[in-house]
């Protein structure tokens, strides 16, 4: 690929460092993650180099996702490298298991944590995740996160049962969480079934000052728009990649919002400072119509 213009502004970069996860979420997972998935072809040094290139491009914030990012053997090294480079760091974890090393990282300045909570009823939550005992683990870790004073954002996903989602949201707020949002499940990955991915599931800001690097080095316009890729950072540097025609074409495939309903440029699944219903119209999927008041005020979350 040859560079055709200056690289576009990039402020937020998600790093999907693994496809491995303790959970399967057979009807939900946007990434199709699970216990048998691997870490991809990106090596530790490839992730560190990508972070350095992102800093040079002006990226201010990175997010480590998966799968379950803490399962990657180089998770701690990658996280520390991002923090030492002066970046703000999001970690999106299922909160099924954290080690002492993980806690030490999460308690560092400029680190924020995000997770997904499916139901206040253990059996319902476990049915969604495909793993018995996952509710007990996640619920317990949420309590520990609060006790330690770590910033936490929780997504509650409405997979067709708004009442269940509302009960889960209410339970978390009683615990003392204020950054809780109900969002629609996007028809991507496991949630799409046999259907082809559609740009109607996108919010309209994918590829706009943000991107995601997938486990094999492929760069996509966002986590949900992972089907819109434009090549691999294993073959070319991030700056040259983002200034190339393939990235321009991938971004052009995203249906853009215009006018007063446009999403905030910082719209991203785990940033509580950006897609704030009190500041702007929430970034729902382009083809989505809210059915409840809380959904009308929901921030889209990672599935």
The CATH number of the domain holding residue 242 is 3.20.20.70
Residue 241 scores a pLDDT above 90: no
Which of 69-73, 276-280, 297-301 is most confident? 69-73
Between CA 17 and CA 44 the distance in angstroms is 9
For 81-103, give one letter per residue: b (16+ CB within 10 A) or e. Answer: bbbebebbbbbbbbbbebeeebe
DSSP characters over the chain: ----SPPPP--EEEEE--SB-S---TTT-TT--BTT----S--HHHHHHHHHHHHHTT--EEEEESS-GGGSTTHHHHHHHHHHTT-EEEEE---S---HHHHHHHTSTTEEEEEE---SSHHHHHHHHT-TTHHHHHHHHHHHHHHHT--EEEEEEESS-HHHHHHHHHHHHHHT---EEEEEPPSSGGGGTTSPP-GGGS-S-TTSSEEEE-TTSEEESSSTTTT-EEEETTTS-HHHHHTSHHHHHHHHTSPPP-GGGPPPTT--TT-TTTS-TTTS-----TT----SHHHHTPPP---
Whether the model pTM is above 0.85: no
Q: What is the pLDDT of residue 244?
A: 87
Residue 277 lies in a domain: yes
Residue 24 lies in a domain: yes
Residue 156 lies in a domain: yes
Domain limits at 272? 12-296
Residue 4 lies in a domain: no
Residue 263 lies in a domain: yes
Residue 3 lies in a domain: no
What domain count does the chain have? 1
Residue 264 lies in a domain: yes
Between CA 303 and CA 300 the distance in angstroms is 9
Give me the mean pLDDT over the 26-39 stretch: 91
Give me the mean pLDDT over the 10-24 stretch: 95
Whole-number average pLDDT of the chain:
82
Percent share of the chain, pLDDT over 90: 55
Residue 165 lies in a domain: yes
Give me the mean pLDDT over the 265-284 stretch: 38
Give me the mean pLDDT over the 88-95 stretch: 97
């Amino acid at each position: 690929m040859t560079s055709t213009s200056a690289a576009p502004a990039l402020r937020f970069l998600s790093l999907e460092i693994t496809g491995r996860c303790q959970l399967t979420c057979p009807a939900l997972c946007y990434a199709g993650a699970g216990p048998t998935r691997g870490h991809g072809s990106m090596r530790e040094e490839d992730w560190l180099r990508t972070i350095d290139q992102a800093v040079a491009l002006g990226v201010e914030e990175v997010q480590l996702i998966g799968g379950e990012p803490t399962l990657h053997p180089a998770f701690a090294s990658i996280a520390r490298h991002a923090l030492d480079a002066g970046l703000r760091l999001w970690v999106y974890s299922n909160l099924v298991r954290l080690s002492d090393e993980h806690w030490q990282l999460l308690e560092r300045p400029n680190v924020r944590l995000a997770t997904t909570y499916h139901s206040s009823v253990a059996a319902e939550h476990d049915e969604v995740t495909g793993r018995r005992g996952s509710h007990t683990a996640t619920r317990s870790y949420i309590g520990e996160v609060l006790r330690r004073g770590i910033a936490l954002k929780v997504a509650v996903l409405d997979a067709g049962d708004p009442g269940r989602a509302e009960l889960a949201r209410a339970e978390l707020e009683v615990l003392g969480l204020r950054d809780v949002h109900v969002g629609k499940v996007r028809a991507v990955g496991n949630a799409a079934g046999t259907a082809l991915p559609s740009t109607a599931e996108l919010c309209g800001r994918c590829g706009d000052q943000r991107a995601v690097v997938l486990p094999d080095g492929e760069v996509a316009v966002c986590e949900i728009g992972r089907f819109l890729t434009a090549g691999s950072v294993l073959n070319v540097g991030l700056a040259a990649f983002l200034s190339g025609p393939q990235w321009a074409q991938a971004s052009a495939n995203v249906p853009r919002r215009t006018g007063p309903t446009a999403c905030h440029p910082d719209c991203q699944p785990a940033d509580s400072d950006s897609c704030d219903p009190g500041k702007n119209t929430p970034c729902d999927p382009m083809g989505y119509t809210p059915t409840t008041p809380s959904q009308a005020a929901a921030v889209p979350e990672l599935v």
